[in-house]
Homo-oligomer: A and B are copies of this chain.
Amino acid sequence: MMTPSEVGKVSVVQSENRTLNFSEIFAASCRIRDHVVRTPLLESPVLNERLGGRILVKPEMLQKTGSFKFRGACNRILQLTLGERRGGVVAWSSGNHALAISAVCALLDIPAHIIMPESAPQMKIEGARRYGAKVRLYDRATENREEIGAQIADSEGAVIVPPYDDFNVMAGQGTVGLEIMEQCRELGIMPDNVLSSASGGGLVAGIATAVRTCRPETSIYSVEPAGFDDLARSLASGHRVENAGGMNTLCDSLMVPTPGALTFPTNHALLADGLVVNDAEIRVGMANCFEHFKLVAEPGGAAPLAAILSGKLDVREKVTVAVLSGGNVDPSVYSSIL
């Protein structure tokens, strides 16, 4: 017999041979709606005038835990069976995914195990602990976080929730795209372009699926920092390529070596192109979030606005939506950028 939480549960096929479906995003939206913030769609007449087009921002720094990651974590964890809830969740991350998993688990009273590098900012380690997560620190040089994760999953009976290579996580992030379409409809407009930052590619894959199912003419662009443009190059070559390594960026949240195995087929099928911005452009993006929108953007969160402001895309006489993915930035770093 099925337990109550298993009734109506559809098994999700996690496979590299398929793309994300719109129905998964719509189901996620129904599932998580009481838990997430429906972030507004904002615009600045002054910025619109300057750019000669209509720019709307979707500020996911206003989401719980300060980033869109709460949506995907929420969608996955709400689908745990009663038995799985007892064992809890394991995740590895030094940033926004860790905070999101910790907060969702706190909300649902589920144990959370977070594996973080010893070198992670103290602020972020404390952040996860504040939500009651058990933080397991590891040494990047001598230990492997996937192995530690597998051990905890095994010994505690915990479920691993990956940051992007999971269709439930992608579907949760895709609710950003669904809200964009609903909010554009309320405003009586339709987006010509939607820009989102990309790390593993879960957010942009979810947004592309939601937006282009509703309106196939809309162009979706990923935005990555210079030196970490693995998705842009993978889109160009048609298969997943790695970053060269040895590079640095202000965008601590956008530093994965290669696109996700499960996110790439969707992004390859749906994205128009991958845009790339450098640190100087990111700084301008952050300062413009401050000036025109009164929003605190972390470096990676400002990447789409940075791409627009630096002319990477022609937005004149178009409606362009820039998703601002998060705002978790240290005050001293922020001050130095302003």
Residues of A within 8 A of B (CB): 37-40, 42, 45-46, 49, 59, 61-62, 64, 66, 103, 106-107, 130-131, 287, 290-291, 293-297, 327-328, 331-332, 334-336, 338
Contact = CB atoms under 8 A, between A and B. Distances in A.
A305 to B, nearest CB: 15
A138 B131 CA distance: 54
Provide the main secondary structure of the chain A interface.
helix
A294 B64 CA distance: 10
A39 B37 contact: no
Contacts of A331: 287, 290-291, 338
Nearest to A338: B331
Contacts of A334: 290, 335, 338
A45 B106 contact: yes
A129 to B, nearest CB: 11
Contact of A62 (B42, B64, B336, B338): B42
Given A37-B42, A49-B130, A294-B327, 17 more contacts: A38-B40, A39-B40, A40-B62, A42-B62, A45-B64, A45-B106, A45-B107, A45-B131, A46-B130, A62-B294, A62-B295, A287-B331, A294-B296, A295-B295, A295-B296, A296-B296, A331-B338
Given A45-B64, A45-B103, A131-B45, A37 B37 contact: no
Contacts of A103: 45
Nearest to A61: B294
A51 to B, nearest CB: 14
Contact of A296 (B37, B62, B290, B328): B290
Contacts of A40: 37-40, 62
A47 to B, nearest CB: 11
